[in-house]
Amino acid sequence: MPVAKEAVTFLFGIALISTSSYTFADSMPLNNHSQNIDGYSLTLSNDNSECELITGTDDKKTSLALPLTPPCYWITKPESEEAQHYAYASEEISHVFLVAGTALEWSDEKKEYNKLPIDAYCSQYLQGITIQSGEVIISGEKMDAPNCIGQDIDEKVFNGVALGKATEETAEIDKLKPENKEGLFDSIKKTFKQLFSSEEETPQSN
């Protein structure tokens, strides 16, 4: 398990949240919403008292608790059900995701004043999830940033998670195995590699 970076607090206001895209077809979050992105399997579960992130395949699953009250949902790309995510090569981070949760208890008047839709489910907090060096990392602090289902989020928020994540919980995550078998060329290449490796390890006689 990697050593956690020094905690850095970021304050995110509603001004950072993009309200350019709404999807009202599904006004409530799915009970269990799975994402298969770049070979990683991630499922957001609303079955218990806290939202959970389930990673891995059927033979090796890991559940990580999120400090959010169900129902939770993925922040998704505009007009899409795919989770919005970004990579930050300078931090060796392949994916940063955001999950929204804990119901927003605002009146319709207050939602309208803050330019939030009144006919969609809205949440109070955002939680960062990072994949780095084969581990999935739950950020140590949730963000007080109201959001409604169907809204995408400004990239600045993802960047803040990447630069200032304080590790709360981690777990190893494996990519899904490809369905196709090893090709002939790969098999030949592996055989040659093993052959030359054996020759290098054979001690030379004096």
| Each residue's pLDDT tens digit, 43-55 | 999 999 999 999 9
State residue 122's pLDDT score: 96
87-123, pLDDT tens digit by residue? 999 889 999 999 999 999 999 999 999 999 999 999 9
CA 176 – CA 57 distance, rounded (Å): 7
What number of CA atoms fall less than 13 Å from residue 26's CA on the CB side? 14
Helix or strand or coil: residue 164?
helix
Is the pLDDT at 150 greater than 60? The verdict is: yes
Q: At residue 24, does pLDDT exceed 70? A: no
Return the SS3 of 118.
Answer: coil
Give yes or no for residue 165 having a pLDDT over 80.
Answer: no
- 169-179 confidence digits (pLDDT tens): 455 555 545 44
183 φ, ψ to 5°?
A: -75, 165
pLDDT class of 73 with cuts at 50, 70, 90: very high
**Angle at alpha carbon of residue 76, lines to 74 and 81, rounded to 5°:** 95
Give the pLDDT confidence score for residue 112 in this predicted structure: 95
Phi, psi of 100 (to 5 degrees): -110, 145
Look up residue 119 and give its two tokens: 């006919």
How much of the chain exceeds pLDDT 70, in percent? 65
3-state secondary structure of 28: coil
Give the confidence band of 188 by pLDDT, cuts at 50, 70, 90.
very low
Residue 106 is predicted with a pLDDT of 96
**pLDDT value at position 141?**
86
User: At 65, is the secondary structure helix, strand, or coil?
Assistant: strand
| C-alpha distance across the termini of the chain, in Å | 46
- 3-state secondary structure at position 197: helix
